[in-house]
Amino acid sequence: MKKLINSPENVVLESISGLGAAFPDLVKVHFNPNYIVRADAPVQGKVGIVSGGGSGHEPMHGGFVGKGMLDAACPGAVFTSPTPDQMHEATKAVNGGKGVLHIVKNYTGDVMNFEMAADLARAEGAEVEAVVIDDDVAVKDSLYTAGRRGVGTTVLAEKIVGAAAEQGCTLKEAAALCHKVNAQGRSMGMALTSCVVPHVGKPTFDLPEDEMEIGIGIHGEPGRQRMKLKSADEITEMLLTPILEDLPFQNGDNVLLFVNSMGGTPGVELFIVYRKAHEILTNRGIKVSRSFVGPYITSLEMAGASITLLKLDDQLTKLWDEPVHTPALRWGV
Amino acid sequence: MKKLINSPENVVLESISGLGAAFPDLVKVHFNPNYIVRADAPVQGKVGIVSGGGSGHEPMHGGFVGKGMLDAACPGAVFTSPTPDQMHEATKAVNGGKGVLHIVKNYTGDVMNFEMAADLARAEGAEVEAVVIDDDVAVKDSLYTAGRRGVGTTVLAEKIVGAAAEQGCTLKEAAALCHKVNAQGRSMGMALTSCVVPHVGKPTFDLPEDEMEIGIGIHGEPGRQRMKLKSADEITEMLLTPILEDLPFQNGDNVLLFVNSMGGTPGVELFIVYRKAHEILTNRGIKVSRSFVGPYITSLEMAGASITLLKLDDQLTKLWDEPVHTPALRWGV
Q: Which DSSP string corresponds to A108-132? A: HHHHHHHHHHHHHHHHTT--EEEEE
Is residue B178 within 8 A of residue B281, CB to CB? The reply is no
Predicted pLDDT at A185: 98
Name which of A2, A14, A291 is nearest B275 (Cβ-Cβ): A14
Q: Quick one: pLDDT band at residue A312, thresholds 50, 70, 90?
A: very high
Is residue B51 within 8 A of residue B62, CB to CB? The reply is no
Mean pLDDT of B253-263: 98
Instruction: Show which residues of B are catalytic.
Output: 57, 219
Name which of A6, A231, A278 is nearest B6 (Cβ-Cβ): A231
Q: Does A17 touch chain B (CB under 8 A)?
A: yes
Task: Kindly name the residue from A57, A61, A88, A102 that is annotated as catalytic.
Answer: A57
Q: Quick one: pLDDT band at residue B327, thresholds 50, 70, 90?
A: very high
What is the Cβ-side half-sphere exposure of residue B252, based on CA atoms within 13 angstroms?
Answer: 0
CA-based nearest residue in chain A for residue B22: A291
The amino acid sitting at A217 is G
| Cα of B231 to nearest chain A Cα, Å | 5
pLDDT of residue A160 exceeding 90, the answer is: yes
CB contact under 8 A, A273 and B233: no
Chain A residues whose CB is inside 8 A of the B3 CB are 192, 232, 269
Known catalytic residue at A57: yes
The H or E element containing residue A190 is strand A185-191
- For chains A and B, count residue pairs whose Cβ atoms are closer than 8 Å: 195
pLDDT of residue B180 exceeding 90, the answer is: yes
pLDDT of residue A72 exceeding 90, the answer is: yes
Give yes or no for a cis peptide into A33 (omega within 30° of 0).
yes
First-to-last alpha carbon distance for chain B, in angstroms, is 40
Strands (E), A56-173: 72-78, 100-105, 128-133
pLDDT of residue A60 exceeding 90, the answer is: yes
pLDDT of residue B141 exceeding 90, the answer is: no
User: What's the CA gap between A257 and A292, in Å, rounded?
Assistant: 6
Question: Closest Cα to residue B156, out of B273, B258, B250, B265?
Answer: B258
Q: Which DSSP string corresponds to A3-63? A: -S-S-GGGHHHHHHHHHHHH-TTTEEEETTTTEEEETT-S-TTS-EEEEEEEESSTTTTGG
Query: Each residue of A148-176: b (16+ CB within 10 Å) or e?
Result: bbbbbbbbbbbbbbbbbbbeebebebbbe
First-to-last alpha carbon distance for chain A, in angstroms, is 40
Chain A residues whose CB is inside 8 A of the B23 CB are 291
Chain centroid to CA B186: 12
Pairing mode, if any, of strands A100-105 and B324-325? unpaired
Name which of B3, B22, B192 is nearest A293 (Cβ-Cβ): B22
Predicted pLDDT at B101: 99
pTM exceeds 0.90? yes
Give pLDDT tens digits for A38-56.
999 999 999 999 999 999 9
Domain spans of chain B, in order of start: 12-184, 185-322
Mean pLDDT of A149-160: 98
| Stretch 104-163 of chain B: residues touching chain A, C-beta under 8 Å | none
User: What's the CA gap between B164 and B318, in Å, rounded?
Assistant: 10
pLDDT of residue B144 exceeding 90, the answer is: no
Pairing mode, if any, of strands A128-133 and A100-105? parallel
Give pLDDT tens digits for A263-277.
999 999 999 999 999
User: What's the CA gap between B283 and B205, in Å, rounded?
Assistant: 37
Give pLDDT tens digits for A77-128.
999 999 999 999 999 999 999 999 999 999 999 999 999 999 999 999 999 9
pLDDT of residue A306 exceeding 90, the answer is: yes
Strand ranges of the sheet holding A48-55, from the earlier edge strand across to the other edge: A27-30, A35-38, A72-78, A48-55, A100-105, A128-133
Q: Does A63 touch chain B (CB under 8 A)?
A: yes
CA-based nearest residue in chain A for residue B59: A267
- Residues in Cβ contact with B18 at an 8 Å cutoff, skipping those fewer than 6 apart: A270, A271, A272, A273, A274, A275, A278
Give pLDDT tens digits for B5-63.
999 999 999 999 999 999 999 999 999 999 999 999 999 999 999 999 999 999 999 99
pLDDT of residue B123 exceeding 90, the answer is: yes
Mean pLDDT of A146-165: 98
Predicted pLDDT at B58: 98
Label residue A202 exposed, middle or buried (CB < 10 Å: 0-12, 13-18, 19+).
exposed
**Which homologous superfamily does the CATH classification assign to the domain defined by A185-322?**
Dihydroxyacetone kinase; domain 2 (3.30.1180.20)
Mean pLDDT of A290-313: 98
CB contact under 8 A, B231 and A6: yes
Q: What angle do CA A199, A205, A208 make, to 5 degrees?
A: 140
Predicted pLDDT at B248: 85
User: What's the CA gap between B12 and A269, in Å, rounded?
Assistant: 9
Chain A residues whose CB is inside 8 A of the B330 CB are 330-331
Q: Quick one: pLDDT band at residue A166, thresholds 50, 70, 90?
A: very high
- pLDDT over 90 percentage in chain B: 96
Question: Closest Cα to residue B189, out of B167, B155, B157, B221?
Answer: B221
Q: What is the mean pLDDT of chain A?
A: 97
CA-based nearest residue in chain A for residue B194: A2
User: What's the CA gap between B127 and A281, in Å, rounded?
Assistant: 43
User: What's the CA gap between B8 and B292, in Å, rounded?
Assistant: 32
User: What's the CA gap between A230 and B198, in Å, rounded?
Assistant: 15
| Stretch 169-198 of chain A: residues touching chain B, C-beta under 8 Å | 192-193
The H or E element containing residue A241 is helix A232-246
CB contact under 8 A, A301 and B21: no
CB contact under 8 A, A212 and B63: no
Name which of A14, A63, A303 is nearest B272 (Cβ-Cβ): A14
Class level of CATH domain B12-184: alpha beta
